[in-house]
Amino acid sequence: MKAFFIERYGKQNGRIGDLPDPTIGAHDVVIQVHASSVNPLDLKIRTGEFKMILPYQMPLVLGNDVAGVVVSTGAAVTRFKPGDEVYARPPESRIGTFAERIAVDENALALKPSNLDMKEAACMPLVSLTAWQALVEIAQVKKGQKVLIHAGSGGVGTVAIQLAKHLGAFVATTTSTANVDWVKALGADVVVDYKQQDFANELRDYDVVLNSLGGDVLEKSLKVLRPGGLLISLSGPPTAQFAQEQGLSWVLGLIMRLLSSGIRRQARKHGVRYRFLFMRADGIQLQKITALIEAEVIKPVIDRSFSFDQIAEALRYVEQGRAKGKVAVTLGQAS
């Protein structure tokens, strides 16, 4: 099969070539890929940023989102059959959606939302699961609470704004001047233009902050939280709790405890909590998200689309950090 893969870690690595078809386990579903999408995570994996906690074998097919059609199933699969239209974020240990076919554990899969085409569906799993696990699972956001979502025009931000509003929250977000009106249309109640304003001077007494940006933003986010508030970071630093959840060695746990000691100490000083989130595949949660998509509570936001043979270009575009929403990758049969 054709696939986009790397043979070593590096910023500009990756090429399209032929690889064997995926092997199928008893609980696996083989999907004919119609579309995928590019995430900043793909760039981090390509450079080896996660090689300590995710020791991938080379060659490694990149790609963390998929929408397509089931072509075969393992002997123990009960929830899906050939011909089903599905979408998923594969488990992190078995990524590889930049390919013609991929085998995915059925527990990571959900039926594709009926009101989305393949390209739209492929842009939803990773970002919507991230938003769900942050706001519903960890923060347990309730009606009337105040939530700050950084980078509101990004892939996670666009979905998180919509989900937080559905949960009844008062939502603030940060973005650039050009996107202020655009993120307001997504549902943000307050928009801080980071080119003109400092959010730490504008916002106070928030219950939850969802951060996907750098260390300076992370530290300043503590100041806008009320006592007992929660700072959730997608960009780190990781914690010992995360190492334990991932089943990592005690050495890596110690390293992560040290890496996060500064922000955890500052959080305690402010009387707030800090949590690192590395989203996980979850087909049951994705089914719940499907219901929200079909009810048009959450809608995909796609900046632009690239063909399969333009994946390297798509990665370069996402690396610039200017995409509004998601960047899709379509194979020949994607609508």
Which pLDDT value is given to residue 237? 86
CB-neighbour burial class of residue 127 (10 A; exposed 0-12, middle 13-18, buried 19+)? buried
One-letter identity of residue 310:
Q
Which pLDDT value is given to residue 292? 98
CB-neighbour burial class of residue 12 (10 A; exposed 0-12, middle 13-18, buried 19+)? exposed
Which pLDDT value is given to residue 321? 85
Which pLDDT value is given to residue 334? 43
C-beta separation of 214 from 224 below 8 A? no
**CA–CA distance, 3 with 21 (Å, rounded to integer):** 10
Alpha helices (H) in 192-335, listed in sequence order: 199-202, 215-221, 240-246, 250-259, 261-270, 283-294, 311-319
Q: Give CA separation, 210 vs 40, 75, 166, 332, in Å.
A: 16, 41, 16, 36
Give the CB-side neighbour count of residue 313, counting CA atoms within 13 A: 9
Torsion of CA 20, 25, 31, 32, to 10 degrees: 30
How many DSSP H helices and E strands does the chain contain?
12, 16
**CA–CA distance, 157 with 324 (Å, rounded to integer):** 10
Q: Which of 64, 60, 38 is nearest to 51 (CA)?
A: 60
Taking the chain (335 residues) in runs of 10, the rounded mean pLDDT of each run is: 96 93 96 97 93 90 98 97 98 96 98 98 98 98 97 95 98 93 94 93 96 88 97 90 86 90 92 95 98 97 96 95 93 60
**CA–CA distance, 330 with 307 (Å, rounded to integer):** 5
Which pLDDT value is given to residue 333? 54
* DSSP-based three-state secondary structure for 36: strand
Tokens read off for 22: 């995926």
Please write the tens of the pLDDT for every residue from 262-298: 899 999 999 999 999 999 999 999 999 999 999 999 9
* DSSP-based three-state secondary structure for 178: helix
Tokens read off for 292: 């929200």
Domains defined for the chain, CATH in brackets: 2-124+301-330 (3.90.180.10), 127-276 (3.40.50.720)
* DSSP-based three-state secondary structure for 7: coil
C-beta separation of 331 from 35 below 8 A? yes
Does residue 91 have a cis peptide bond before it, meaning omega lies within 30 degrees of 0? no
Please write the tens of the pLDDT for every residue from 302-319: 999 999 999 999 999 999
Which pLDDT value is given to residue 214? 79
Following DSSP, what letter does each residue of 74-121 receive, concatenated? -TT--S--TT-EEEE---GGG---SBSEEEEEGGGEEEPPTTS-HHHH
Cross-strand partners of 175:
193
**CA–CA distance, 186 with 202 (Å, rounded to integer):** 21
